[in-house]
Structure 1
């Protein structure tokens, strides 16, 4: 597998209609996710067998998400409803059977037209570990979805809805501090946020990942790995469609005003990154890429905005035609099938 790395101090906002606010929720799970009155069960509207987790609600079966996951049998679909609150813990999913994590939502703000779904999230799962004192990169992850030791493949259908995953070591900008570590799994995310500084999102070997209506914050190498990652919309690579790449609103506190950052630095000649219909602001320089090694297969790009000019691109860059996009870069082409593990009912 090749690898890729994004090297920016920007905010990835996966917005499907530029200039249009998003009102995205899951029609299958919304009734379960909405907070209930104090007289109603928090599991009203939830699929049978859903487990409720809350740090403050006495009706919950568990106070920690990881404790709920550890209670699950090895087989059968499982759903966990996570109540509003702060969860200072590391979540590790090793079971192979499907698992869905649902973040609870306020019924008065869930449909608010201001901002995208992730800005309405009530559930924050976080840790503050970073690479030091013998900890490896992957051991710092807030969320790990990977097979148990010795198994060939892990979770066949992991989903998370409306949850903020954070590594708050990013507040110190010390070193690598992962939010997700995804290996040999099928994992998809809806209306979620992932926040760190360096090495935010890792798609490892054999992993296939999909994120829509979500935001990823980071700085150095914060999208990287050896698997296949589709954001918005086997092989290897990073595919970003119908999105925005913009400087984070708080970036000026740690970066030089008007500074520019390269879009990526491919780590070897198999690295592939594709950007389709993606807006790039002025923080992206005309050269787009910082070459890490040569020769390289560098990103194919279709984008626009102040950072989307094509006059000074590196020689390895390729601007795709609409015919190439239609032939090679549909969701079905990227995954070699229409993935059954993606929730296509999630509309935006």
Structure 2
């Protein structure tokens, strides 16, 4: 069902693009072909690791004495705060740290790997342990304080805030072209010193706000609020995987995932929880879009938890929410009704404003006769064609690597 009129409103401006994978699941969700930095990313003999890399590439390694830095954080801090283009190559390893990218100039971070087109072979792990305890949360704490990788000009621009409109708009814009290749990013929330396999509170792996970002063959894992795409943030994800259990894709802006696996560790809330408003923040470009991907049970979901028919596709964070699935495999974990209201006492559904839809869904979790079409629509081909990368972003963004991504 189409929804619109304004009650709950929110920010706009972020975009996530992820490029399509083949209809059949293979090779970690990406097409076999060429990738821009494959030769640079492949492991090489000591002293030759930067061969085939762009001139000036900064090398990070925990074990190679010829590297410039042992942490990604330090490498990022070493870069000039200007508009120059920079590259970082990260060697195999587990990097326990928080990384903040605030510079404006283009930055590419590449994880070392034998096969850039198979995210299951990634060799670089970036992780941290943090979460926001919403029971004891103070007024000075924000979801942005529990993030592993942040791409934003400053903390004020990163803030999620509260209420229908969230944090105030900011005047600055951060990175114009951030790219991440073959890095596994995880927020491993801990309780009493031990990693907790379940919901603890907001604990994002990635936050993008007031910046343009794209990811290729990378993965993002948490249990709650895994990936946030904030105001004036544009994110394109090609291949890879997102793991979560509660509202694990959320944000104010526009996000397009193509060929990405959505892996459910639990089924709380929904896969997407989005806000949007063309009234307060300009052009109607908000929403979260998923194309040619897969919705499945996570490989590390607790074995005694039955997720069958339990995972909702999306729910409205405000009543201007938009969430679209195109040509997506729906496994048995998908809720037969599809999309849901925010909650029974506060549905946040407004006709002709709230918009949930799917087209070309297939698999055991796609049950068109059981979809709740008072909440989500089964789109026609003509309607689905209104949602393409070019139409959502007003043309093909220059910050997408079309040498690696194949957009269908």
Alignment TM-score, normalising by the size of structure 2: 0.76
Per-residue deviation at 1:176?
1.7
Q: Does 1:322 align with 2:381?
A: yes
Structure 1 CA distance for aligned equivalents of residues 45 and 376 of structure 2: 55
Structure 2 CA distance for aligned equivalents of residues 25 and 74 of structure 1: 35
Q: Does 1:342 align with 2:405?
A: no
Query: CA contact under 8 A between 2:296 and 2:333: conserved in structure 1?
Result: yes
Gaps of 5+ in 1: 5-11
Q: Does 1:138 align with 2:144?
A: yes
Structure 1 CA distance for aligned equivalents of residues 19 and 143 of structure 2: 25
1:49 corresponds to = 56
Tell me the secondary structure at the aligned position of residue 332 of structure 1: helix
Tell me the secondary structure at the aligned position of residue 275 of structure 1: strand
Deviations 1:208-233 (A, max 9, x none): 11101110000001100101111017
Tell me the secondary structure at the aligned position of residue 246 of structure 1: strand
Structure 1 CA distance for aligned equivalents of residues 398 and 188 of structure 2: 33
Structure 1 CA distance for aligned equivalents of residues 244 and 130 of structure 2: 16
Structure 2 CA distance for aligned equivalents of residues 30 and 80 of structure 1: 14
Deviations 1:285-314 (A, max 9, x none): 221122112434131111111221221322
2:5 corresponds to = none
Per-residue deviation at 1:259?
5.3
Tell me the secondary structure at the aligned position of residue 110 of structure 2: strand
Per-residue deviation at 1:179?
0.6
1:169 corresponds to = 189
Q: Does 1:64 align with 2:71?
A: yes
Mean alpha-carbon deviation: is it higher for 260-269 or for 143-152?
143-152
> Which of 220, 223, 228 in structure 1 is aligned with 2:249?
223
Mean alpha-carbon deviation: is it higher for 288-297 or for 272-281?
288-297
Describe the shift of the 1:37–1:276 C-alpha distance in structure 2 as closer, same or farther (beyond 3 A): same
Matches within 5 A, 1:217-256: 217-232=243-258, 235-253=285-303, 255-256=305-306
Query: CA contact under 8 A between 2:19 and 2:258: conserved in structure 1?
Result: no
Tell me the secondary structure at the aligned position of residue 253 of structure 1: coil
> Which of 85, 98, 107 in structure 2 is aligned with 1:90?
98
Mean alpha-carbon deviation: is it higher for 302-311 or for 254-263?
254-263
Per-residue deviation at 1:3?
7.7
> Which of 292, 298, 301 in structure 1 is aligned with 2:358?
301
Per-residue deviation at 1:269?
1.8
When the two chains are superposed, the root-mean-square deviation of aligned CA atoms in Å is: 2.3
Gaps of 5+ in 2: 1-8, 13-17, 157-169, 260-282
Deviations 1:193-251 (A, max 9, x none): 10110010000111111101110000001100101111017511100000000111222
Describe the shift of the 1:120–1:240 C-alpha distance in structure 2 as closer, same or farther (beyond 3 A): same
Query: CA contact under 8 A between 1:165 and 1:195: conserved in structure 2?
Result: yes
Structure 2 CA distance for aligned equivalents of residues 178 and 14 of structure 1: 24
Per-residue deviation at 1:345?
0.8
Q: Does 1:313 align with 2:345?
A: no
1:182 corresponds to = 208
1:18 corresponds to = 24
2:108 corresponds to = 100
Tell me the secondary structure at the aligned position of residue 142 of structure 1: strand
How many pairs does the alignment contain? 332
1:152 corresponds to = 172
Structure 2 CA distance for aligned equivalents of residues 245 and 276 of structure 1: 12
